[in-house]
Structure 1
Amino acid sequence: MAETSIRPEEAAHFGAMAGDWWDPKGSSAMLHRLNPVRLGFVRQAIDRHFGTSERDLRPLTGKSALDVGCGAGLLAEPLARLGAAVTGIDAAPELIEAARTHAGESGLAIRYVAGEVGRLDGAFDLVTALEVVEHVADPASFVRQLADRLAPDGLLVMSTPARTPWSRLLTITLAEGTGQIPRGTHDYDQFLSPDQLGETLAQAGLTVVETRGIAFGPGKGLHLSDDLSLNYLVAAVRAG
């Protein structure tokens, strides 16, 4: 029996958001704001790892991608448009149903699965888990499951809030406190520092090849930065 990384209360919390997941002004509004920034990092990581050009419209053609904690498809759909054969998996069946509906309306052939990533078979050229590790029961077990799904020459991309007072202030006190993020979405005790996540990845046989922050500024909004104190992304590969 595969180890479980699912926390039922987390699945229920996010499943309740399925109805307006694709509404940029709904309960997932902050994810809609984050998504272009995250996609920028993912695209840069793809080009560096697979040797593609930023001018390529479909750099993932012929490659497989797995989006873990896919929600209703905010990342899975762009990955499909980049040419990948995409599988999305989420612990909340309500989100998977919403994802299937939206993909169908968008004319995208994406395989969506409700359940536990540890029970999936196969290996994928690209594995993504954005804003997920802070919601799982056991981060070390979860990262091992991601590593198990990664092809030998594959690329893993993760993102998560930083474990800093600044992140707690903006993410929980302000964003949740003012309703920009539904209350109860985050637990600061689950946040990981870049060093903690890097060590967890190393224990799973992976090496971090790039780390970038997602910062916020009044003039720039959310943007990629060298400042890792709010939120950050990592790209990792199998240790050589």
Structure 2
Amino acid sequence: MIGIDPSTEGIAQAQARYPHLALYEGSAYEDLAEHYGRFPVVTSLEVVEHLYAPRRYAATLFDLLEPSGTAIVSTPYHGYWKNLAMALIGKLDAHFTALWDHGHIKFWPIRTLSALLREAGFVDIRFERVGRIPALAKSMIAIARRPGYA
């Protein structure tokens, strides 16, 4: 198991707390599979909403998986009813603020994240919504598989 993060500070903090883990500075825009190999499972937690090039991220995620490997991707949930509820209670502007340095720049409903993963070659894509009731979920988790050998 290894961990990759683009933040030098984040890696340093994690290594100080968990010195036994293999943690490296890296980006979803790099050829991570060439550097670190392929894995049966890749977990990406709260990353895709911060990226300028989500297609490159999805390609990197796909490349990191062994054939028949599983990707687990979490991101804040954005759906019609949640966005409507935030608008009705006056929280939409605060939620989608442009004033958060390094904050969220993409907002993913299930249909759009599913399309991104399908486009990258993933199959058997399913979603779980977590936190609150499903229509107002805080986050969603996509589970997708890289096809195996034919």
- TM-score class, shorter-chain normalisation, is 0.7 to 0.9
> What is the aligned partner in structure 1 of residue 31 from structure 2?
119
Aligned CA distance change for structure 1 residues 149 and 228 (closer, same or farther; 3 Å): farther
Identical aligned pairs, as a percentage? 26
Query: Structure 1-normalised TM-score?
Result: 0.50
What letter is aligned with 1:96? I
Deviations 1:180-222 (A, max 9, x none): xx944644x5101111111111111102442111232xxxxxx
Q: Structure 1 pair 144/151, CA: closer, same or farther in 2 (3 Å)?
A: same
Structure 2: give runs of 5+ residues left out of the alignment: none
Going from structure 1 to structure 2, the CA distance change for 1:173 and 1:87 (only over 3 Å counts) comes to: same
Change (3 A) 1:233 1:172: farther
Q: TM-score, normalised by structure 2?
A: 0.76
Alignment of 1:3-82 (within 5 A): none
Aligned partner (choices 39, 50, 54) of residue 135 of structure 1: 50
Is 1:197 the counterpart of 2:118 in the alignment?
no
Classify the secondary structure of the residue corresponding to 1:144: helix
Deviation of the 1:226 alpha carbon:
4.3
Partner of 2:11: 96
How far is 1:161 from its partner?
1.5
Report SS of the residue matched to 1:211: strand
Structure 1 residue 235 corresponds to structure 2 residue 143: yes
Partner of 1:215: 131
Figure out how many residues of one structure are paired with residues of the other and give that number.
137
Measured at CA, do residues 206 and 94 of structure 1 come closer, stay the same or move farther in structure 2, by a change above 3 Å?
same
Structure-2 change in CA distance of 1:130 and 1:154 (3 Å): same
Higher normalized contact order (CA 8 Å, seq sep 6+, divided by chain length): 2
CA shift for structure 1 position 227 = 3.6
Decide whether the 8 Å contact of 1:208 with 1:234 is kept in 2: no
Aligned twin of 1:46: none
Deviation, structure 1 residue 153: 2.1
Gaps of 5+ in 1: 1-85, 177-181, 217-224
RMSD: 2.8
The 3 A distance-change label for structure 1 pair 153 and 206 is: same
Q: Distance in 2 between matches of 1:228 and 1:150?
A: 31
Q: Which runs of 4+ in 1 moved over 3 A?
A: 167-172, 182-187, 225-230
CA contact (8 A) 2:68 2:147 kept: no
